[in-house]
Structure 1
């Protein structure tokens, strides 16, 4: 089944709240080689004006993943996981993510573009804090190979 063009404009329900833990930020920072002290040392983060350790910019992907799982789980999507790769990622921040934030995200599919037998699906995850204030918009592009790509 090809990617369903009716996904464009589809909004998904907000994800359950995700509590950003200090150790999760530290683990993520180590994994992406973000070795600035504000990512692991609360005192260094406070010296920069933050309430706790600051997540590296790509940490938003941890929260966005919950929204992408909603999209991938849609029975009428036409997205075959075995033919899907994460092609592009962008972030637009209002403020950094810090330990102690409680974040929810809401995904909207903003576009589908055909590239030969393949489809590129663009989606925006609007990530907000517990007060509803915008923190970051995470934009992903998934490349879904055509059905004949699985036989290569």
Structure 2
């Protein structure tokens, strides 16, 4: 089944709140070699004016993944994981993610376009804190293969 063009404009329900844990931030920082003390040392982060350790910028993918699972699980999407490649990723921050944040994410499909018989699916995930304030928008482009042999 090809990617459903009627996905464009579809907004999925908000995720359950995700509590950003200090150890999760530290683990992620180690995994991506983000060795600045602000990512692992709460006192260093506080000295810079943050309430706790600051997540590396790509940490937003941890939360965005919850929304991408909604998209990939949509029965009429036509997106088969075995034919999908993560083609592009961008982040637009209002403020950094900090341990202790409780973030909710909502994905909207912004575009589906055909490229050489394949499909490029663009989505934006808006992440807000417990007060409803914007924290980050994560934009993802998925390349979905047609599954047809050349």
TM exceeds 0.5? yes
Unmatched 5+ residue regions in structure 2? none
TM-score, normalised on structure 2?
0.99
Aligned-partner SS, 2:16? coil
Q: Give the total of aligned pairs.
A: 150
Calculate the TM-score normalised by the size of structure 1.
0.97
Secondary structure of the 1:63 match is helix
Please give the per-residue CA displacement for 1:101-152, whole angstroms capped at 9, x wherever unaligned: 000000000001110110000000000000000000000000000121xx57
Cα distance in 1 between the residues matched to 2:44 and 2:113: 44
Cα distance in structure 2, aligned partners of 1:34 and 1:23: 14
Deviations 1:28-54 (A, max 9, x none): 000000000000000000011000000
Q: After the TM superposition, list the runs of 4 or more consecutive aligned residues in structure 1 that deviate by more than 6 angstroms.
A: none
Q: Determine the structure 1 residue equivalent to 2:20.
A: 20
Q: Distance in 2 between matches of 1:113 and 1:59?
A: 28
Q: Where does 1:1-152 land on structure 2 (aligned, <5 Å)?
A: 1-148=1-148, 151=149
What secondary structure, in the 3-state scheme, does the structure 2 residue paired with 1:147 have?
A: coil
- Quick one: distance in 1 between partners of 2:140 and 2:87? 8
* CA distance in structure 2 between the aligned counterparts of 1:22 and 1:89, rounded to whole angstroms: 24
User: What residue ranges of structure 1 are gaps of 5+ in the alignment?
Assistant: none
Query: For 1:85 and 1:104, how far apart are their aligned partners in 2?
Result: 25
